[in-house]
Amino acid sequence: MKRALVSVSDKTNLVEFVSGLVDLGYEIISTGGTKKALEAAGLKTIGISEVTGFPEIMDGRVKTLHPNVHGALLCVRDNPDHVRQIEELGIRYIDLVCVNLYPFKETVQKPGVSHEEIIENIDIGGPSMLRSASKNYKFIPVICDPNDYEGVLKELRENGETCPVTREYLAAKVFRHTASYDAMIASYLTERTGEKYPEKFTITFDKVQDLRYGENPHQSAAFYKGMNPQYSLANAKQLHGKELSYNNIQDGNAAIEILKDFEGQPAAVGLKHMNPCGVGIGATIEEAWDKAYEADPVSIFGGIVAFNEPIHAAVAEKLSKIFLEIIIAPAFDEDAFEILSKKKNIRLMQLDTTLDVNARYKVTNVNDGLLVQDIDDHKITAADLRCVTNRKPTEEEIEQLLFAWKVVKHVKSNAIVLVKDNMTIGVGAGQMNRVGAAKIALEQAGEKAKGSIMSSDAFFPMPDTVEEAVKAGVTAIIQPGGSIKDQLSIDVCNEHGIAMVYTGVRHFKH
């Protein structure tokens, strides 16, 4: 009679699966809570201690780590010497393994959980059995995912065994499972010991979905989420519309990153190709949207918009009049949803914008490598600004300078942003020289540039950007400072009565 070893924390569809094995003539070896659950369902089991001839000890820490288990799992059944040894030792084969692991991730995420409880939820016996059996997948099917129960039973019923391709597929999944499990444990302990950039960098993600294609139709793609997504599109609820694309997710993420810098005030962000085309803040969310739209009504076509307050009917009516890919908001009232959902394909995403950003690092892939850095969550206040010109900015200008600085941080470098009356009026993004970015922003602003505020993500290497600002009528500038030719730009500002402040912080974005 064949034997199956079953020991699981996730008991989804467990009874149905094991009932199927019993119907196929399997004896069931089990442990602890799994054994109790199966016997409560009327299924006969063999206790692990009956197999090992040894009691569970140390509160269950040691129960399956025994030659009678691992010899049964690792024996190469077409190796005569292995077979001779197992027979001499009286070890019976185990023909199928179904194991999943202590809920380490769920334990770590529990509020107020103690370090001791977390440590106790590091599974040792489970990964050991999974790895032993998976190493020997030529002979043993190993199941760690309840989603595979039905397929395994189907093959066993039809063929009397699983096929080699299935066993290899299951073994690969097991090693991904245990690798992910170990990565979570390593991450927890690494963070606890304060190692920021350890000699090995292991991170793990769970698949959300396959995507139709990647950045372009000839590229395949998939979307994965972190272990505890909070302020993330992976945690957003799609209420309506087509499936998200790769570019939708990239742009949506960029939009909510900008939005996060405007907590506490109604804000609207319009975005295309990872750059904001319009950002507005106001006394109401409708006023914020009006400003974001007016900022660039051309580029917003086919774009993404994000809000940090619920959408009501008045805003929805305005949004419905233009072609948008995605609308992200904390909520849509009933009337707003009815208006917007008339458009079949528009994606309506609900996301709590008060949630915290869980990510500690920004990870960027390069050929055969990764770059890892802190996320750029640096913030400044009026107290952090250092005025370097004869004229000091007015209180109103300081307010607009800080607004402009929040926006330029999120624009691809070299970046210049112009703002006026709590809205962007010109965005120069991703240029190879700074004055080129300034000219784009100024051209977009046109006559509105007169009396506006300019922000720059990095210092001015030459005075030419300030000279362009003078021609357009800019009244105040915010930039990091730090060029060896800073004084040339300061002199131009002083000559024309422009106030300029330094932040001492650069915001390159590549």
Q: Supply the residues annotated as catalytic.
A: 135, 273
Query: C-alpha dihedral over 420, 422, 425, 429, to 10 degrees?
Result: 120
d(C-alpha 409, C-alpha 276), whole Å:
11
- The answer to whether the beta carbons of residues 258 and 279 sit under 8 Å apart is yes
- Neighbour count for residue 494 (Cβ, 10 Å): 16
Which run of H or E residues covers position 189?
helix 164-193
Write phi, then psi, for 483 (nearest 5 degrees). -75, 150
CA angle, residues 343, 284, 379, in degrees to nearest 5: 105
Rounded distance between C-alpha atoms, residue 191 and residue 163, angstroms: 42
Among residues 287, 285, 324, which one has the least CA distance to residue 308? 285
- Beta bridge partners of residue 365, listed in sequence order: 370
With H, G, I as helix, E, B as strand and everything else as coil, classify residue 186. Answer: helix
* Host H or E run for residue 237: strand 237-240
How crowded is the C-beta side of 320, counted as CA atoms within 13 Å? 17
Per residue, what are the HEC states of 7-54? ECCCCCCHHHHHHHHHHCCCEEEECHHHHHHHHHCCCCCEEHHHHHCC
Residue with tokens 């051209």: 443
By the 8 A CB rule, do 48 and 69 touch?
A: yes
**CA-to-CA distance for 308 and 293, rounded, in angstroms?**
16
The CA-CA-CA angle for residues 393, 459, 454, to 5°, reads: 40
Place of tokens 């915290």: 356
- Give DSSP secondary structure letters for 377-438: -----GGG-EE-SSSPPPHHHHHHHHHHHHHHTTSPSS-EEEEETTEEEEEE-S-SSHHHHH
Three-class secondary structure of residue 6 per DSSP: strand
Reported for 322-331, long-range contacts at CB under 8 A and 24+ positions apart, including other chains, are 322/293, 324/300, 325/248, 325/251, 326/241, 326/244, 326/248, 326/251, 326/252, 328/233, 328/236, 328/252, 328/255, 328/256, 328/304, 330/354
Phi, psi of 135 (to 5 degrees): -60, -30
Q: Under a CB-based contact definition with an 8 Å cutoff, are residues 428 and 436 in contact?
A: yes
* 487: Cβ contacts below 8 Å, ≥ 6 apart: none
d(CA 406, CA 413): 14
